[in-house]
C-alpha cells in the first residue's frame, strides 16, 4: 500500500533578511521531532524564501510612474504597489475589476506579480517573489545536503487563484532535485489504449498537499516535509518545464 506522510514544521519567529532557510528547516525539523530522511521532499513557502533574500520593499521608497498611477486609479490600488507590479512583470495580461493579472519575469501567470501585502513583517511594506525560486530551491537543497549529508528535493510554493474556479490553491514556483512530472504519455492502459495527454505535474500536487499543513502565514508553519512519494530525482529541470509557452495558451 502506498502511504504518504506530510509534516508541518512550525517556527516561532519572523524570517528576516540573511536568514539561512536550510538551517531553519533543519532546526525546525529537530524541534518538531521529525528526522529528515533521504528522499524527503521539503516544501518551503515562497514568502519566507523571499524575506530571507531581502525581497522586502518599503512602499515609501517607491516612486510610481505615470503608468502606475493611471492603473492604480483604475484598480483602486496603491500606486507604489502598482509600480512594483509593473517592475516585476514581463507583461500585464489583464486589468479588470480591480484585478491586475500579470505574467512575471519567471513566467508565472497570477495576480499582482505575486507581490504580497500580508504577513510582510510590518506595515507599509510588501514582499516580492524570490528573484529565482529555482535557484533558491537549489541552494536550500545543497545546504541541507552539506549540513546533513542527506539527499532531499525542495519545492518553493505560493498561493494562486484559478481562472474558472473560486478560491486558491498552492502551486510550485521553483524546485530542485525532483522531476516535476509523472509522465504517462505513450504508455498503454489495461485495454491497450495509448495514453496521449496524461503528464501529471506532481510538484504542483505536492505544493497543494503541503498547504494543507502549512496553511497561511498566520499559522507560522512555513515548511513541510513530504515523505513517501515516488518521484524521479533529477538535477536538470526547472520551473521553465512547468511554464506553458504563450503560443499554446487557449485562454487569453
Which one of residues 33, 38, 60, 66 is an interface residue with a copy of itself (CB under 8 A)? 33
Q: Which of 136/223 has CB closer to a copy of itself?
A: 223
- Residue 212 CB, shortest distance to a copy of itself, in Å, is 5
Query: Interface with a copy of itself by CB under 8 A: which range of 30-38, 42-50, 77-85, 128-136?
Result: 30-38
CA distance 156 to 79: 29
18 binds a copy of itself (CB under 8 A): no
- Residue 252 CB, shortest distance to a copy of itself, in Å, is 6
In Å, how far from its chain's centre is CA 196?
A: 28
CA distance 139 to 21: 9
Q: Going by C-beta distance under 8 Å and a sequence separation of 6 or more, which residues neighbour residue 90?
A: 102, 103, 104, 105, 107
Which one of residues 12, 38, 63, 163 is an interface residue with a copy of itself (CB under 8 A)? 163
**Parallel, antiparallel, or unpaired for β 89-96 and 99-104?**
antiparallel
Interacting residues with a copy of itself between 217 and 246 (CB under 8 A):
217-218, 221, 229, 241-244
Contact call for residues 132 and 106 (beta carbons, < 8 A): yes
Q: Strand pairing partners for 108?
A: none
Residue 151 has phi, psi (to 5 degrees) of: -90, 115
Contact call for residues 59 and 81 (beta carbons, < 8 A): yes
- Residue 114 CB, shortest distance to a copy of itself, in Å, is 13
Distance in angstroms between the alpha carbons of the first and the last residue of the chain: 42
Q: Which of 24/139 has CB closer to a copy of itself?
A: 24
Interacting residues with a copy of itself between 59 and 118 (CB under 8 A):
94, 96-97, 99, 101, 109, 111, 117-118
Please count the residues of the chain. Answer: 252
Which one of residues 66, 76, 166, 236 is an interface residue with a copy of itself (CB under 8 A)? 166
Which one of residues 22, 34, 42, 84 is an interface residue with a copy of itself (CB under 8 A)? 34
- Residue 142 CB, shortest distance to a copy of itself, in Å, is 25
Q: Where are the beta strands (DSSP E) in 34-108?
A: 41-45, 56-58, 89-96, 99-104
Query: Interface with a copy of itself by CB under 8 A: which range of 50-58, 69-77, 127-135, 194-202?
Result: 194-202
Q: Which of 74/200 has CB closer to a copy of itself?
A: 200
**Parallel, antiparallel, or unpaired for β 89-96 and 223-227?**
unpaired
Which one of residues 18, 76, 165, 186 is an interface residue with a copy of itself (CB under 8 A)? 165
- Residue 28 CB, shortest distance to a copy of itself, in Å, is 10
Amino acid at each position: 500500500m502506498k502511504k504518504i506522510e506530510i509534516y508541518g514544521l512550525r517556527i516561532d519567529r519572523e524570517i528576516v533578511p540573511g536568514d539561512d532557510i536550510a538551517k531553519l528547516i533543519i532546526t525546525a525539523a529537530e524541534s518538531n521531532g521529525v528526522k529528515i530522511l533521504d528522499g524527503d521532499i521539503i516544501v518551503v513557502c515562497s514568502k519566507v524564501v523571499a524575506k530571507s533574500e531581502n525581497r522586502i520593499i518599503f512602499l515609501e521608497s517607491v516612486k510610481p510612474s505615470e503608468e502606475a498611477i493611471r492603473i492604480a486609479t483604475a484598480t483602486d490600488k496603491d500606486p507604489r504597489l502598482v509600480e512594483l507590479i509593473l517592475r516585476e512583470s514581463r507583461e500585464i495580461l489583464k486589468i479588470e475589476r480591480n484585478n491586475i493579472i500579470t505574467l512575471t519575469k519567471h513566467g508565472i501567470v497570477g495576480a499582482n506579480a505575486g507581490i504580497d501585502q500580508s504577513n510582510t513583517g510590518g506595515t507599509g511594506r510588501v514582499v516580492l517573489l524570490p528573484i529565482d525560486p529555482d535557484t533558491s530551491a537549489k541552494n536550500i537543497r545543497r545546504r541541507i545536503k552539506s549540513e546533513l549529508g542527506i539527499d532531499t528535493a525542495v519545492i518553493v510554493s505560493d498561493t494562486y487563484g484559478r481562472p474558472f474556479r473560486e478560491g486558491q490553491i498552492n502551486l510550485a514556483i521553483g524546485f530542485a532535485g525532483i522531476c516535476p512530472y509523472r509522465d504517462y504519455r505513450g504508455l498503454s492502459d489495461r485495454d491497450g489504449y495509448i495514453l496521449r495527454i496524461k503528464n501529471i505535474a506532481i510538484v504542483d500536487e505536492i505544493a497543494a498537499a503541503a498547504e494543507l499543513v502549512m496553511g497561511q502565514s498566520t499559522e507560522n508553519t512555513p515548511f513541510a516535509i513530504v515523505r513517501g512519494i515516488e518521484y524521479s530525482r533529477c538535477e536538470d529541470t526547472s520551473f521553465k518545464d512547468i511554464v506553458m509557452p504563450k503560443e499554446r495558451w487557449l485562454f487569453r
